[in-house]
Structures are given as structure tokens and as C-alpha cells.
A and B are shown apart, each in its own frame.
Chain A
């Protein structure tokens, strides 16, 4: 996985729940390509047109709260989210995203310091977010431990497959 991610910021507020990331009425879709068509539809209907692979989602507290739907992580993976920065994450979403290989980085207050379309460079393991547009560097929590182990193995599926594949 890329440990340094550079991309354009898409900025949101607090409590962006999984219904906003992926509305419930599309849960019967199962192909990731189809799931990707509805990314962030409840929070930002223009997201799909503007977001490019490698771009970055920035939010305040509790990003991904709510439902256990893995579709919320699948849809962000399908559009190629480089990293999500937030004060905190809903815990099931956190597991789902890390399991699929999407880096989530805790960076307190970041949504107050970044505007939409700012260019950010995120050092995922180094604990640093540089806002290239404003020139300001913010401290983040370095991703380490078991979550990093999953990411470095390309997600939990390949990790489990290598250990338990029947």
C-alpha cells in the first residue's frame, strides 16, 4: 500500500453516517462497480462527478457511524479513496474499511483547517498531514499495529486466505 497519499480534499462535517455514504435503498447491489456508483450520495450528490481516484475525504467526528453495511467501505474503495481523515470513525466502518485496505487516519480538528479542493499530502505511518494549499502541517495519529498489518497485507481477505484458505 502507498504510505504517502497526495490528493484533493473533499470536506464534510460530523456524524457522516453510512446511510449518507451509501443509501439503504441500494443495498441489494453486490457488484463493487455498481456499489461505487452511489458513493456519498446521501451526503453530497455531486461527489461522484468530481471525485478522482486517490482523492481524500476529510471529516469531523464519527465518520461512518451507523449501520454495519460493508457497502459503505466497498463504495469508497470502488471510487479509489486515497485515505479518509477524521477526528474519529464509527467502529464497524473502521473495521470494514481497514479490512478492505482503505487507510483511515485520525487527525483531530482537520476539517476546520482544510477547504474543499485543497491539496493534501498524508503520511499514513509518519503521523503527518501537509496542506499543500495553505502550507500548514498538521499532526495525525500514525497508523500502526494490527490495523497496519492488515493494510500491509493488502486487506484482511489475503491475510486470512494465506492463514486459513481451505
Chain B
């Protein structure tokens, strides 16, 4: 009785059967390194590395500092480029490409049954494709560069069943914020999370990426959605046919099995300074907003920009609010241009910055001053996450962000889409 996640890991470890708690060594199918972590290259050499184990399985993302805004950042990116050229790593995603997880989705690099490891905590995103995705630090990634493998503790698995019908004006972000608010930021630490239930039929690949992405904020090691027709349709669109589907045995015992009914869900918001500080947005209506922010691996997709464009078409954002938009990738930006969203949003007063991670993690392109308040469609509202530790960050759906940009304060976004 094994879970699909366990079967993926067992195959990667060359084992027939594994159980939770066991330490196993897994072959990694795709390993990604982000430009924040030059330590990855340092650790590789410190451990006696000379040539990477398999350059075809490595991808380097220059996304967090795209483009460099300090000399130190520029120097780190320079060293990454040279490392790729010297090691024959062809998958160098330079500063024009966007956020790692969206690039992986755009280019179809994560397939069902794969083990995907990136030096980014939101690698849980790739459960949307039926892959085992997990984030690690620089030195762990350097071990993969050297050996093609990494040790893992087989996680216990929690199932989260989403049932009911999604009400109009409620988004994937509202659903996952509601779950995190109820279970807490440390609920799934060291554990794998499976998202299941009848609501999956209503959730697109973009929605699933948002939900899997945010399970990191309940501590999850990985997230998994059993591939279905929606997954297969994505795989056909990307012309991906080399994958293996694993399924969970019917008698598998989950560490916890929770059900959430979404039918009566209201728009949700996570208030400062923790992702599990969640309540209905009604509690915060009228809170003045200095900056609205739409972007990131969580909610920087075409679908998210479409919602903002619908709300802001022919209107102007509030005169005391700025609205920063960061398309998650070059593909997202191009598609948003083609569909007219960029024109609509710029005319409404939005500021577009380079596809990438931008100020989601407080490095550049839209930091917050002390005392300022931001509503953002990103993933974290920790103190200092987007600039000053004395700024206040509210997390919400793209609709709530766009509606707040329009009004200059937090509002209930329901009704703005009519």
C-alpha cells in the first residue's frame, strides 16, 4: 500500500517498496539552480567537484535578480553564466525568461512521475503536473550536480480534499489561503500533501500551480495532484509523451485526511505578518493601500493578468496607490501583450517590471517603505519580505489586488468582474 509520491520516490531510488520515515537516495530528473545561490557553485567546488554529473538534467535560472540591480548581483549572474558555458549546461534561463517555476511550466520541463528539485522553496508547484517537486538549499543542489542524486526522508502524506462548487468571484488563491488559515503554517512540515476532491475538475493548470505552490506555506515538503484529463490536455498541448503515471493504492493510509467545502467561501486575505493569519476580506475593508502587487510564481500568470485587466478596463487606479505588475515569464508577458491586457493595465496606471521574482522577496523592483501597506497576490507576508520590516503586507487573490489598486483601499472584489 503505497502512495503515488512514494512510488515516484521508490522508482527514483531503485527500490520496490519504501515507507514513511525511511532515508533513501533518489536520482533527480531535473535540478534547477537560482541566481540567488552562488553558494551552489561554491559548494560544488568545495566538495571536490570538477565536472557536473549530467549537464542535461541541470537548469540555471537568472530570475531573482532579473536584471541585476547591484554590482554584486551582476557578478553572481556572471559567474553562473560562465559556469554554464564551461560545464555544457545548455538550459541557462537568462534574465529575459522569468520565474523558474513558470519557465518549467511554459517549456514543459516537469512531467508526471519526475523528481524535480530546485533551490527554491516553491518547487512544490510541480505537483500540478504529477511530479515530485521539492525545494532544497545550495549545498544539497551542489550534491545533485556532483552525483545526480540526493537523500530524502520519505514523507508521511496528508490528503486535502476540496469539495463543493467554487462560487463566482472565488479563486484558487482564496481556496488555498482558507486551507492554510485553518490548518496553520506548520501543519505539513516534513510531510507531503495531496490535493484531491471533486473541485479539481474546476481547477485549471494555472489554478493547480497556485494551490500546489502555496502548500509550501503550510510547511509541505511536496505537493501532488493525481494527473487527470486537465493534466493530459496540458501535456498534449506541450507535446510531452515521455512520462509515467503512478497511482496511489486504494488501501494507502494517510497521516491525515481533511475535507474542505468551498461552496460558501468568501474572498480571503492573509493579514500581516504570517501566511496563516487568514480571514474573510470583509474584516479589512477600507484599509488604505500604498502598493498593489500582481506577480510571482504564485499568481503572475496570464489568467491572473486577465482578471486584473477585466477589473481595470477603461478605469484608472487610485491616485495614491501604485500598481506593480510582474508577469511570471516572457511567455506570459507576450501572451498578455497579444491579448491586449498589457495595454489595458498600463492605461489604467499599472507599472510593468521585468518578468522574474522582483520585489516578492524584497530584492528589487518595488520595495516598500516603513509604514507602507501593500496588497499582493504573492506568497509571503513575513516582516520585511518586500522591503521595510515596518511595512504591512496582505496576501490575496489577483482580483482583490486589482480591485484594491482601483479603489486605493482593500475592498471585496466580488462584483468588480461584472
Contacts and interface: CB of A to CB of B under 8 A. Distances in A.
Interface in A85-144: 88-92, 94-96, 99-100
Nearest to A87: B186
Contacts of A15: 185-186, 274, 276
Contact of A20 (B43, B361, B384): B384
A166 B48 contact: yes
A67 B121 contact: yes
B385 A24 contact: yes
A54 interface: no
Contact of B221 (A30, A88, A91, A145): A91
Interface string B27-67: 00000000011110011001111110000000000001100
Contacts of A66: 121, 380, 382
B93 to A, nearest CB: 17
A28 B146 CA distance: 24
A100 B362 CA distance: 25
Contacts of A70: 37, 39, 137-139
B219 A65 contact: yes
Given A24-B361, A66-B380, A146-B23, A92 B46 contact: no
B376 to A, nearest CB: 14
**Chain B, interface SS category:** loop
Given A42-B389, A69-B37, A99 B137 contact: yes
Interface in B104-163: 119-121, 135-140, 143, 146-147, 151, 153
B138 A90 contact: no
A89 B137 CA distance: 15
A68 interface: yes
Given A23-B384, A68-B121, A160 B140 contact: no
Given A70-B39, A145-B23, A160-B147, A90 B189 contact: yes
Contacts of B23: 145-146
A94 B72 CA distance: 27
Interface of B: 23, 36-39, 42-43, 46-51, 64-65, 70, 72-73, 76, 119-121, 135-140, 143, 146-147, 151, 153, 185-186, 189-190, 219, 221, 274, 276, 361-363, 367, 380, 382-385, 387, 389
In order of increasing CB-CB distance, the 6 nearest A-B pairs are A165-B48, A62-B186, A96-B137, A70-B137, A28-B72, A24-B362
